[in-house]
Structure 1
């Protein structure tokens, strides 16, 4: 007796439903690490690299730190979206956390709030 072939789109909703809510602690750890990395790089970019660029006319720190922040923000974006799906965050909370990664120091505040609420089982 051969198994009936299934279409990939038939498996997607069930696979997503199984994944949502599972693996939250690991996803939270990944999110926290990336939030701190992106936050530190953004602070370094704004408080160190940009003044060096304009006061000492050295462009390299902005190019290096800015590029690193940009690429790592993309990873942060993916980890935050992964956590948002697993922990069932609201759309508003997810968007606010993602935007917080673009504002110096605010990423640290958003990380603490998101961590506290996620660990308590609340929606962000």
Structure 2
């Protein structure tokens, strides 16, 4: 989810906004901004759900959620979140394959 939101935000900021204000064409803003907004809401819900399952602090959850508003930061946040979840699974003696089979 973070990758999709991050790619849409990057396209929106790096392509859509310059086209809108320099060329007067808001097509890219419309076609990436609206999906980014809706998918960002899905990201917020899934981040909250994941945080409850793995026991993240409220500070960490808020940082993960805010990362979807800064271009390219969602990729970094997703990397650290994935690493943390895999470490917690390994500490519990569970593999990622075991979790996906359930």
Tell me the CA shift for residue 88 of structure 1.
0.8
* Structure 2 unaligned regions, length at least 5: 90-102
Quick check: 1:92 aligned with 2:73?
Answer: no
Tell me the CA shift for residue 52 of structure 1.
0.8
Quick check: 1:40 aligned with 2:7?
Answer: yes
TM-score, normalised with respect to structure 2: 0.83
Counterpart among 54, 59, 63 of residue 21 in structure 2: 54
Deviations 1:49-76 (A, max 9, x none): 1111112110121122111100010111
Structure with more of its chain in helix, by fraction: 2
Q: Where in structure 1 do 4 or more consecutive aligned residues deviate above 3 Å?
A: none
Count of aligned residue pairs for this structure pair: 89
Of 35-44 and 47-56, more deviation after overlay is shown by: 47-56
TM-score, normalised with respect to structure 1: 0.69
